[in-house]
Chains A and B, each alone.
Chain A
Amino acid sequence: MNAPATERFVVPIGPQHPALKEPGHFEFTVEGETVVDATVRLGYAHRGIEKGAEGRNWTQTLYLIERICGICSHIHSTAYAVGVEQLAEVEVPARAQAIREIICELERVHSHLLWLGVAAHDAGFDTLFMYTWRDRETVMDILETMSGNRVHYSANVLGGVKFDLTDESAVAILKGVEFLEERTHHYRKVVSEDAFFLQRTRGVGTMTHAEALALGVVGPTARASGVARDVRLDAPYVAYADFPARIQLLTAGDLEARFLARLDELLDSFRLIRVLVAGLPAGELTAKRMPRKLKPGEVISRVEAPRGELFYYIRSTGGEQPDRVKVRTPTLCNMGSVITQTIGHNLADVPMILVGIDPCFSCNDRAVTVRRAGDDNGRAWAWADLRRYGIDYYRRIRN
């Protein structure tokens, strides 16, 4: 009570907090309502998937990889499949590639609509939240019509796709896309014209072009700051060379631009989906033969997830199992921008700035060992050591 007015105190957000849909820990030092310092700690949802991949064969790993993310499941399996096919030197038929691209874009639509709702909720605009999620059901239904599943479509197999685009699903796609396009135009209008909402987004969390380059941000977050970075164009994968996306660039770099960048991307996805459905190449759905064992080698596979560049490193030593699968998700690249942008802003803006990068924690979390120079005892943990450590640890805390 007698504390000086300038006293700083730390507001912890997370690991459990209503603003976070997944666990992460942030500490914001505030003076009054202004943030003066911020730190982040990630890694609460580490699931050991990379290690798990090493114990499964190439095909089994595909299904494990698809479960990294519950929102962009297809893009993970696409990144992995494209990499493995490159290692195996397998040619995937054009029709399969195009179907992969359709699902990639449908997934982007579903992800961006979901994000729009979450962001609106964080801004205290629950009406927009409810309506976007209602409309998102349309694209979920389309995906269910195509694949039989709403979340893990399981569209990819190594060397192709599992199902064809039937006439029935083509009709459903075109109908759904038409409805969603109309709604997206409406949401774009709301986001760019609603005076109360603009107070929360315009000029908030501005990241200049130079800052965006320095922080190495990716995806719509980067494109909202005018950084022309889109893997679909820079290094086309699946069918993006034949059916190219158009880059959506904005220069303002604030939260409003991040909203508009994603909404513009939605509109481009609708265009692209129509082009794809109309011009779907004929042909097989899978490659003739996919080897069970892969030649030794390593490959880097990059794709554009809804949140930005998704990076896979895959290494084979010639066996039935991958020797190493390394995943780097776009959230990790963008997280640094949250820390720098929140400083100087109102505490009330923090959830908005955080959600502005569309964070996805559990996809992003990896186990990291930090070794300080000097006290490195050179000990490497083998699998058996880790296992023993885990058993001892739980035995200890139980007693």
Chain B
Amino acid sequence: MTRDLINLLFFPAGLGLIAAGLLYQWVDRKLLARFQNRLGPRWFQPFADALKLLGKEEIHPAGSSAFLFAALPVLALAGALTAALYVPLFGLAPVFSFPGDLIVTLYLMSLLTLCIGLAGAQTRDRFSLAGALRVFTQMFAYEAPFILALLSPAVALMLAGQPSSWQIGELVLSAAGQPWFLLTLPITFVVALVGLMGKLELPPFDAPEAETEIVAGALTEYSGRGLALFSLARAVELVVGLTLVTALYLGGIGAGPLAAVLFTAKTIGLLLIVVVLQTLLARLRIDQTVNLWWRLGSVLVLAQWLLLLIFRVLR
């Protein structure tokens, strides 16, 4: 009981996770800045930003539901924090686990996007509305390939006749006994990583919050606490997403304290790749994002699955 509470509130989920999310966000910002020939923020900047925003007055825009306006950020953060319970944070075994939690986690991760979209759609601001439209459009673009890509390791194990499961805890344990899925399923790995960038609205998929077009997109009307909660939810989602991709594609989780360090190092490594992509690529227009995902992303995932089936038949 006490152990559960500590797990939930402090580590690995809860406050520890939020702190880790903000640190990851700092790594992202700092590296991006260095790659762009800037100095970048000091390590505590994301913490300071979050604290400052939490303490600021929240201005509720006229014409939107006050309840939804306040509830959506809370729901978004709750969704992200709940999703974190089922993934092996920092290479430790998931806090909770039940059969089929892989699917539930993927849906919980989408809650953030959904909340951001709804938050934009329910205010009357035109930039928010345009942003919300883009959030939903982008979600429909990357969501299917992203989910399929994260399900691929389980499917591959199943087809290979190995012990497989829709339960993340078991899945990552059996993945640890296999060669890295990064090597055997390279295509879906790329789709999963790039899909994560789409989910987090990082460049080049930052059309939903393109400041030169629609100011801050769906969150234009948000200030103070709501904005802080949304940004915390994004930070948590960054960790959850990186953890999930690492656990599934980079050799699952091992045992012992060193395994946890190694696992965390792997997530930072993935973050580095994400930052490099952010540096190199220019923003895609929303129609180009949709094209990319449906013409290329989905086809790639299906091609990978087809390859799996062919191997299965030949064997």
- Stretch from B32-40, B159-167, B189-197 forming part of the interface with A: B32-40
Contact bitstring B269-286, A, C-beta under 8 A = 1, else 0: 000000000011111111
Q: When the two chains form their complex, are residues B126 and A124 in contact, meaning their CB atoms are under 8 A apart? A: no
A125 sits at the interface (CB 8 A): yes
- Provide the residues of chain A in CB contact with B38, threshold 8 Å: 130
A19-B212, A196-B281 given. 11 additional CB < 8 A pairs?
A10-B126, A12-B126, A33-B133, A33-B287, A124-B206, A124-B207, A124-B210, A127-B280, A131-B36, A196-B283, A196-B284
Docked CA distance A64–B108 (Å): 61
Interface bits A328-366 vs B (CB < 8 Å: 1, else 0): 000000000000000000111111000000000000000
**Contact status A194-B213, CB under 8 Å:** no
A246 sits at the interface (CB 8 A): no
Chain B residues, Cβ within 8 Å of A196 = 204, 281-284
- The answer to whether B37 touches A19, judged by C-beta atoms less than 8 angstroms apart, is no
- When C-beta atoms are compared, the residue in chain A nearest to B280 turns out to be A127
Smallest CB-CB A-B distances: 5 pairs: A124-B283, A125-B282, A19-B212, A130-B36, A348-B285
Neighbour of A18 across the interface among B37, B203, B211, B281, CB < 8 A = B211
Q: Are A199 and B285 in contact, CB atoms less than 8 angstroms apart?
A: yes
Quick one: which of B276-303 are within 8 Å of A by CB? Answer: 279-288
B84 to chain A, nearest CB (A): 30
A346 to B290, CA, bound (A): 14
Distance between Cα atoms of A18 and B214 in the complex (Å) = 8
A126 close to B (CB within 8 Å):
yes
The number of chain A residues with a CB under 8 A from chain B is: 31
Q: How far is the CA of A122 from the CA of B207 in the complex (A)?
A: 11
Instruction: Collect the chain B residues with CB atoms within 8 Å of residue A239's CB.
Output: none
Per-residue CB proximity of A1-40 to B under 8 Å, as 1/0? Answer: 0000000011110000111000000000000010000000
Q: Report whether B213 and A351 are in contact in the complex, using a CB–CB cutoff of 8 Å.
A: yes
Chain A CB within 8 A of B215 CB: yes
C-alpha spacing A163/B111, complex, angstroms: 65
A200 at the interface (CB under 8 A from B): yes
Give the interface size bracket for B toward A: 20 to 34
Is the C-beta of A123 less than 8 angstroms from some C-beta in chain B?
A: yes
Cβ contact of B282, chosen from A130, A131, A194, cutoff 8 A: A194
Distance, CA A353 to CA B266, complexed state (A): 42
Q: How far is the CA of A347 from the CA of B282 in the complex (A)?
A: 17
**What's the least CB distance linking A248 to chain B, in Å?**
24
Whether a CB of chain B sits under 8 angstroms from the CB of A153 is no
B130 contacts the other chain (Cβ, under 8 Å)? Answer: yes
- Chain B positions within 8 Å of A200 at CB level: 282-283, 285
Cβ contacts A94-134/B at 8 Å (1 or 0 each): 00000000000000000000000000111111111011001
Kindly identify which residue among A120, A130, A194 contacts B37, using a CB–CB cutoff of 8 Å.
A130
Nearest Cβ on chain A to B198's Cβ, whole angstroms: 14
* Shortest Cβ distance from residue B189 to the other chain A in the assembled complex, whole angstroms: 21
Q: Considering the complex, which residues of chain B in the window 181-238 have a beta carbon less than 8 Å from any beta carbon of chain A?
A: 203-204, 206-207, 210-215
Instruction: Give the docked Cα–Cα distance between A122 and B210 (Å).
Output: 9
Q: Are A131 and B212 in contact (CB under 8 A)?
A: no
A351–B287 CB distance below 8 A: no
Determine if A123 and B282 form an interchain contact, defined as CB atoms under 8 angstroms apart.
yes
Judge if A197 is at the interface, Cβ distance under 8 Å: yes
7 A-B residue pairs with CB within 8 Å? A11-B127, A19-B213, A33-B130, A33-B287, A122-B212, A125-B281, A197-B282
Q: Which residues of B contact A120 (CB under 8 A)?
A: 282
A19 to B127 CA separation, bound complex (whole angstroms): 13
Q: Which residues does chain A contribute within 8 Å of B283, judged by CB atoms?
A: 123-125, 196, 200
**Are A127 and B36 in contact, CB atoms less than 8 angstroms apart?**
yes
Question: How many pairs of residues, A versus B, come closer than 8 Å at their CB atoms?
Answer: 74
In the complex, which of the residues A18, A127, A134, A197 contacts B279, with contact meaning CB atoms closer than 8 Å?
A127
Chain B residues near A33: list those with CB within 8 A: 130, 133, 286-287
Chain B residues in 8 Å Cβ range of A197: 282
Q: Among the listed B36, B130, B206, B288, which residue makes an inter-chain contact with A347, where contact means beta carbons less than 8 Å apart? A: B130
A residues in contact with B130, CB < 8 Å: 11, 33, 347
The answer to whether B213 and A199 have CB atoms under 8 Å apart is no
**Cβ–Cβ < 8 Å partners of B214 in chain A:** 347
| B212 and A11 contacting across the interface, CB-CB below 8 Å | no
Look across to chain B and name the residue whose beta carbon is closest to the beta carbon of A123.
B282
- Residues of chain A within 8 A of B280, CB atoms compared: 127
Task: Assess whether A18 is in contact with B285, with CB atoms less than 8 Å apart.
Answer: no
Interface centre among B206, B212, B283 (most CB of A within 10 A): B212
Contact among B204, B215, B279, B284 for A17, CB-based, below 8 A: B215
CB pair B207 A348 closer than 8 Å:
yes
> Closest CB of chain B to A110's CB: distance in Å?
18
Q: Which of A199-240 contact B (CB under 8 A)?
A: 199-200
Which residues of A sit under 8 angstroms from B281, Cβ to Cβ?
Answer: 125, 196
Kindly state the separation between the CA atoms of A18 and B133 in the bound complex, as whole angstroms.
20
Closest A residue to B207 by beta carbon equals A348
Kindly provide the distance from the CB of B296 to the nearest chain A CB, expressed in whole angstroms.
Answer: 12
Given contacts A33-B287, A348-B207, contact A126 B36 (CB under 8 A): yes
- Minimum CB–CB distance from A3 to chain B (whole Å) comes to 11
Q: Which residues of A contact B206 (CB under 8 A)?
A: 124
**How far, in whole Å, are A121 and B284 apart by their CA atoms in the complex?**
13
Smallest CB separation, B256 vs chain A (Å): 40
Q: How far, in angstroms, from A350 to B38 measured CA to CA in the complex? A: 28
* Cα separation A112 to B210 with both chains bound (whole Å): 24
Q: Which of A344-392 contact B (CB under 8 A)?
A: 346-351
B291 to chain A, nearest CB (A): 9
**Given A33-B287, A130-B37, is A348 in contact with B210 using a C-beta cutoff of 8 Å?**
yes
- Residues A124 and B215 in contact, CB atoms below 8 Å apart: no
Contact flags (1/0) for A159-199 with B, using CB distance below 8 Å? 00000000000000000000000000000000000101101
Shortest distance between the CB of B190 and any CB in chain A (Å): 16
Complex CA gap A351/B287 in Å reads 16
In the bound complex, CA of A128 to CA of B203 (Å): 13
Complex CA–CA separation, A19 to B214 (angstroms): 9
Of B127, B279, B282, B286, the contact of A348 (CB 8 Å cutoff): B286
Alpha-carbon distance A397/B127, docked complex (angstroms): 31
